[in-house]
Amino acid sequence: MMHIDGLFKPKNNLDILKNEYSINIDNIEYTIPVADMFDFMTLPDDEFKKVCTDKQISKVHNIPKEHFAFACVNYMSEKNNRDSRFATPQICRRFKILLHYELIDFEAVNHDLEIVDKVYNKIELSNEVKEMIIKNKPSELSLLETAIYIYIKMCQTFTYDREFFSQNQTYKKELSYITTISPNNLEVTCFEFAVIYGQLLANIGINFRSYYGKKQRIYELRSIMDNGEKEYGQKHAFTEFRVGKFLIDADAMESILEGDLIDSKLYLPLNGLQCINSNRETQEEFEQTLNKVYTIIKSEKKLPQIDKSYLEHIEDLSYLNRINILQKQINLLNLKGLDAYSYIVNMKRKLYTEEELKSNLNIRIIRTNNPEDINKNADVLMIITINKRDFELNDFNNEYYILTPENELIPITYEKLKSKFINGEFEYISITDATIPDITSISHNFVKTFKRK
């Protein structure tokens, strides 16, 4: 690599150029002559662009190029220096150019120099589950590739917590739940996913920060909490981490039914692991790395071949037959619980027209307060309603079916379904879900009499 050092010639005799600027960058203390920064910022346009973009030039004045650019921008950002004679029109233009991170990507500098949220130190994930995640990891993967590999394997290993989903994600999750996660219980929420991922990142030497709250924009995250344990389990959790120049946002559950937990199991494009650098070249490099790792994972296990010949005559199939096709597919793909429900919710658009989805088919996930698992207070069920004519006719010719988390399709009469809502055994998860045909009028106006046996 070439070093740009001693190639600049003084261009000004300003007294300020005799000063030095001290700054800590990525835990390294630098003392930089202001004259060096002035000379860099006043290079002719072609030389300035070459120094910034030429990958063979790794250092400026014997300082890593990214660090030197960061120092220049930081120096200019200080009010006294912006207002001084140092800030010529040319330097001000260069300052704005550097701030876009397109010529030199130093956006990750001084990010995540330590792990503030120590919650990850307080959890114990079983060795069996850890082994499920990393057992096939190739030894030659880079640090960034390893972080990506772990994320994808976690998405494929875990499924969303049905009890938490059924109760509209309203109660606080406790750290102690993580001790119950095992090969026989792989249900998690964003909270467990984030803290487990954080621990696995820390184990390989990657610093991260936990966020609790919602994203305002892709590049702006809010609600970072130093007191992670206090906030844990109450607001949506996700993770940001840094590997070299890459700043990465990991949020597997930004969408529960359409997120990476289901997409990774079907080898569909992932949207929850994103490079949040502004630099387009850095983003493209990350995408290439992500695709490389995803290809490695896809080679570990081939998905079963799904027969799609039915699509050629889909209009000839009854509405129920199409549900039977989806049921066979989720069984073939070994999807259960909310993974199976997610698959059906997303695939229904390929088997039914928009008009059919409006007039002939209704699919809704509800809560049952009488779950099969005696250790759970509630669970989810999918209610499928079919009307061969039109729901709006109100002709009471609806057919109702329950799809259980174990993928069993069970017919149920209107009277029995209605009675379960009336006595409180079944409930809508939220008022906006109250759209099952002919069941909507009783959804939130009944007096619960249901008592679990």
- For 186, counting Cβ atoms within 10 Å of its Cβ (0-12 exposed, 13-18 middle, 19+ buried), the class is middle
Task: Give the β-pairing of 57-60 and 2-4.
Answer: parallel
CB atoms within 10 A of CB 202: 16
Looking up tokens 């729901």 gives 391
Per DSSP, the residues of 170-185 read -SPPPGGGGGG-BTTB
Query: Among residues 45, 59, 140, which one has the least CA distance to residue 97?
Result: 45
Helix (H, G, I), strand (E, B) or coil at 93: helix
Q: pLDDT value at position 59?
A: 96
Burial class (CB in 10 A: 0-12, 13-18, 19+), 235: middle
The correct answer on CATH 1.10.10 for the domain covering 119-300 is no
Residue-wise pLDDT tens digits, 93-119: 999 999 999 999 999 999 999 988 888
Residues contacting residue 4 through CB under 8 Å, at least 6 positions apart? 51, 57, 59, 60, 61
pLDDT for res 170: 73
Q: Contact, 222 vs 121, CB < 8 A?
A: no
Distance CA 193, CA 178 (A): 10
Cα(44)–Cα(20) distance, integer angstroms: 23
Q: Are 211 and 237 in contact (CB under 8 A)?
A: yes
Q: For the chain, which ranges sit under pLDDT 50?
A: 1-11, 13, 216-228, 443-447, 449
List beta partners, residue 380. Answer: 367
CA angle 437, 442, 445 (to 5 degrees): 150
Distance CA 51, CA 108 (A): 20
What per-residue confidence (pLDDT) applies to 233? 62
Could you tell me the residue ranges of all domains in the chain?
Answer: 2-99, 119-300, 309-442
Burial status of residue 266 (CB atoms within 10 A of its CB: 0-12, 13-18, 19 or more): middle
**Could you tell me which residues come within 8 angstroms of residue 170 by beta carbon, excluding any fewer than 6 positions away?**
none
CA–CA separation, 297 and 149 (whole Å): 8
